[in-house]
Structure 1
Amino acid sequence: MEHSYLGTGIGWRPEIAAAVEALAETGRVDWVEAVAENVCPGHLPDSLLRLRERGVTVVPHGVSLGLGGAERPDAERLAALAQRAQALGAPLVTEHIAFVRGGGELTGSARLEAGHLLPVPRTRDALDVLCENVRIAQDALPVPLALENIAALVAWPDEEMSEGAFLAELVERTGVRLLIDVANLHTNHVNRGEDPLSALDALPVEAIAYVHVAGGVEKDGVWHDSHAHPVPGAVLDVLAALYERARPPGVLLERDDDFPAGDELARELAAIRGVVDAGAREPSSVPPSVASAPPVPARVAAAAGAARQRLALRQTALLSALVAGTPVPEGFDRARIGVQSRALAAKRAGIVAKVAPELPDILGAAYRPVFLRYAAERPLERGYRRDALDFAAYVLDGRGGPADPATARRLAAWWRQRSGPAPLPAWRTRLRGRAFPSPRQPSHVFIRMRDTLRSKLP
């Protein structure tokens, strides 16, 4: 099994699609990576179609599988990722070594969504579960899978392995490829005191499919992997150290927010190329091949089954502390848990604002503080589009503070439009002085709003 040569790439985002196309036309971009969940196989963006027509490779990058979670990978999510790989003609797909949800059947508790990539404990239990999940994913995907190391604000207590050793054993047991994010290695150096050079020394460099480079910012001693700032020299130093040890087939610049002009992106790409070209080794089209994974012994699969429940309990306890305000599990840094919790809520507010830009337009400056109060009371459960509707219901219920009549009218109209043909009887009665029939299939949000608002009417 060999790696495909990629060259220098950039993360494709709709906001910079034109700039990416221009960079590809001038030869400064060889390939792109697109967030898999943002691409519809039957309706690919015109920009990606044009890039494909020019021979530019497009790699789908998944963010929602949660292969490091306690549950087995969701078959529908795997099928969706496979469809995107086929639609894009991709040579591989990528995901993360992370968990993104907790609760459910394994714990007998409510399911929780993180809305973010959270670190997997580097323990034998977690490794057994991850290896089994990776094999399930490999069997379901039509192309090879590469997994990315993530950045973390918090560290698990009582970890049994370093990051490098954890990744090396993962590759040995599954044959999976690696997507090494040097910005994440730098983040973990600042936040968790982990030496990026030691991690590089322990890596099976022949398994690296490609490399991520991204920017961030340091605030109060914490490095935030924002993907919204220029790539700092410290991250380029880690990239240089990696290229002294190996010559991966590709390197890619990520930018997810606060997008700069095309010429600034070109300068960052040039800086990355300069580091790559200065690498100690001579360029080669592909590194040594990675052996296929050996079969899984029955005892290993059985061990993973027992490990799943132990891992589920630990991950759910951490996630609940982060998003539902439950006590912080023993051994975790409480201050860092607070930082991570606030970061998750802020990210959630930002994503909902992108999914439903009418909400910050309607609520103005009140949007963010009211949403953060809402997030503190209600963890993310069913995705961001549903979250936007539930947040609007929260405001209309009066729990987000009183809204002036004009704002209430606009918000109620938006809720009706987004939730379907059903009106809001109580609000329509209050705002227009007349009643409307109940919807044929009321949602739980509608019922709660109806009952709450009726109880407030004279």
Structure 2
Amino acid sequence: MERLGTGIGWRPEIAEAVEAMPGIDWVEAVAENLCPGHLPESLRRLRERGVTVVPHGVSLGLGGADRPDGARLTALAECAGALGSPLVTEHIAFVRAGGPGTGSPLLEAGHLLPVPRTRDALDVLCANVRIAQAALPVPLAVENIAALLAWPGEEMTEGQFLYDLVDRTGVRLLIDVANLHTNHVNRGEDPARALDELPVEAIAYVHVAGGYERDGVWHDSHAHPVPPRVLGILTDLAERVRPPGVLLERDENFPSPAELAGELRAIGEAVEKGAGSDARRGAGATAVTVPTADRPGSGSGPAPGPHPGPHSGSGPAVASDAARERVGAAQTGLLAALVAGAAVPDGFDAVRVGVQARALVAKRAAVVAKVAPELPEILGAEYRTAFLAYAEARAMSGGYRRDALDFAEYVLSGDRPDGARARRRLRRWWLDRAGPTPPSSRLTRATRRLLPRP
């Protein structure tokens, strides 16, 4: 695997600071925010300086029951080609569920949700990863995610699940040590055990990020400083293998460039501390052996030798229609409880489902405000209250840009916003973006009648 070095998540808000920051070897950009034919000038300048850019996808839903969408894969492939990237990355998560055959309309989470660590879910994930690998021009690496809740009836630990995924597909891993910490707080999972079970030689790079704890729940915010406990997990990982690259993620509440540089220094020191420890010197860069008896479905017998690397991906990677249906039904039930007010499925912690549901609504409101910044500007203090009422009445089903339009229509159909000028501005905004086939012709006609004639 190509050594990437020290990296930072590129975001438009800190583009200038990233360009001026010394010691940055590579950056990662959210793939869905890029247009291959019209790349941001900042990324172009970084590429011209020899800085590697890796596209990071967030919407494929490789852990979902359906096969990956061809258009999304094409867009990710085009992104990699335009950037000259050595690899692309995505998440081990599902982001939508429902649709034909499920008895539910198509629902979108608007965020990454954990897949159950079961054999069915592993079969589906492996098959979807293989489909993505075949469609992409460069290697794929997949990321472990943070979770606020746990699935009932799981059959594997996170480390075992990732081990088998790599063994069967040859996919690379993007290990987020902040997410390991999140799952430690929220699900009681031991980060050290996860690292012991991982095929560490398959790691493409590592994410590091901050968060905060509230009422015993850790929120992976990407908007707070990296805590010492996360740096400790990074050191623990570096004792096992020196990661090819380590990247700082920050998505909002951006600090000063000096503070970002300080966090990067702390990350580098954590890696060096692990790499220089007695455990690291004694272990070298050998692979981790996972005893056969500890792996689900393997039965008894002698432990295998060190896991081969790089992985061949020669194991089975197929998913039956029945497995997809079972996974789809389970994910639809959970997502309906999270975004559509359905009953919490048996076995789930209802309190945690409520925490996750509120987090999804908050995320949805924040992203719509970024996608359509005119809406909070027009609505002012009313924006959040109006959006929460809208989200309670309508689940997202067409992405954030469609969500912004639907929200504006919802507001206009009621008694908000206060003030004639604000209503006129919102009507104009909606009409400018509704397209040739707006969602409500009645609303369109009414809106046009209310607008002053030029």
**Cα shift readout 1:101-127 (whole Å, capped 9, x = no counterpart):** 001124142111110000000000000
Residue of structure 2 in register with 1:336 after alignment: 352
Instruction: Decide whether the 8 Å contact of 2:90 with 2:143 is kept in 1.
Output: yes
Deviation at 1:358, TM superposition (A): 1.2
Gaps of 5+ in 2: 288-307, 450-454
Pick one of 21, 26, 32 that aligns with 1:31: 26
The count of corresponding residues between Structure 1 and Structure 2 is 424
Matches within 5 A, 1:28-427: 28-278=23-273, 279=275, 280=277, 281=280, 289-294=309-314, 296=316, 301=318, 303-398=319-414, 401=416, 403-420=418-435
| Distance in 2 of aligned mates of 1:410 and 1:311 | 45
Deviation at 1:453, TM superposition (A): 12
Alignment correspondent of 1:430: none
User: How many Å separate the matches in 1 of 2:286 and 2:50?
Assistant: 19
Q: CA deviation at 1:39?
A: 1.0
Deviation of 1:357 after TM superposition, in Å, equals 1.1
CA contact (8 A) 1:129 1:308 kept: yes
1:155 aligned counterpart, secondary structure: coil
Q: Which amino acid aligns with 1:134?
A: V
1:34-54: CA deviation from partner (whole Å, max 9, x where unpaired): 111111111111111111111
Which residue identity does 1:349 align to in structure 2?
A
Aligned to 1:428: none
Secondary structure of the corresponding residue to residue 381 of structure 2: helix
Alignment CA distance shift 1:286-1:267 (3 Å): farther
Contact between 1:374 and 1:394, CA under 8 Å: does it hold in 2? yes
Structure 2 distance, partners of 1:286, 1:60, is 29
Distance 1:451 1:204 in 2: 61
Distance across 2 between alignment mates of 1:155 and 1:335: 12
Contact 2:241 2:285 in 1 (8 A): no
SS of the aligned residue for 2:155 comes to coil
Name the CA distance, whole Å, in 1 between partners of 2:426 and 2:55: 36
- Following superposition, the deviation at residue 389 of structure 1 comes to 1.3
**Secondary structure of 1:444's partner?**
coil
Q: CA deviation at 1:361?
A: 1.1
Match of 1:431 in 2: none
Structure 1 pair 146/157, CA: closer, same or farther in 2 (3 Å)? same
Post-superposition offset of 1:261: 1.1
CA–CA distance in 2 between the matches of 1:417 and 1:104?
30
- TM-score (structure 1 length as normaliser): 0.89
29 and 105 in structure 1: CA distance in 2 versus 1, 3 angstrom threshold: same
Give the match's secondary structure for 2:311: coil
Q: Deviations over 1:247-292 (max 9, x none)?
A: 1111100000011111111000000011111223479999984132
Shift in alpha-carbon separation, 1:124–1:406, aligned structure 2, 3 A = same
Q: Is the 8 A contact 1:132 1:304 kept in 2?
A: no
Aligned 8 A contact 1:248 1:286 in 2: no
- Match of 2:95, SS state, is strand
> Separation in 1 of the partners of 2:144 and 2:408?
36
What is the percentage of aligned positions where both structures have the same residue?
69
Distance change in 2, residues 1:247/1:364 (3 Å)? same
1:447 shift after superposition: 3.2
Aligned to 2:6: 8
Distance in 2, matches of 1:92 and 1:321, equals 36
AA at the equivalent of 2:136: L
CA distance in 1, matches of 2:12, 2:49: 18
Deviation at 1:452, TM superposition (A): 11
Change (3 A) 1:397 1:286: farther
The DSSP-based 3-state class of the residue aligned with 2:55 is: strand
Q: Which residue of 1 aligns with 2:19?
A: 21
Q: Give the TM-score, by structure 2 length.
A: 0.90
- 2:445 is the counterpart of 1:447: no
Write out per-residue CA displacement over residues 377-420 of structure 1, whole angstroms, 9 at most, x where no aligned residue: 0001111111111111111111x656332222221122122224
CA deviation after TM superposition for structure 1 residue 134, in Å: 0.5
What is the alpha-carbon root mean square deviation over aligned residues?
2.1
CA distance 1:137–1:160, change in 2 (3 Å)? same
Could you tell me how far apart the structure 1 residues matched to 2:129 and 2:139 are?
11
Deviations 1:208-242 (A, max 9, x none): 00000000011111100000000000100100110
Are 1:58 and 1:90, in contact at CA under 8 Å, matched by a contact in 2?
A: yes
Give, in whole Å, the separation in 1 of the partners of 2:211 and 2:427.
38
Cα offsets for 1:415-446 (capped at 9, x unmatched):
122224xxxxxxxxxxxxxxxxxxxx542333
**In structure 2, distance between residues paired with 1:408 and 1:44:** 35
**Is the 8 Å Cα contact of residues 65 and 324 (structure 2) preserved in structure 1?**
yes
* Structure 1 residue aligned with 2:294: none
Is the contact between residue 438 and residue 444 of structure 2 (CA under 8 Å) also seen in structure 1? Answer: no
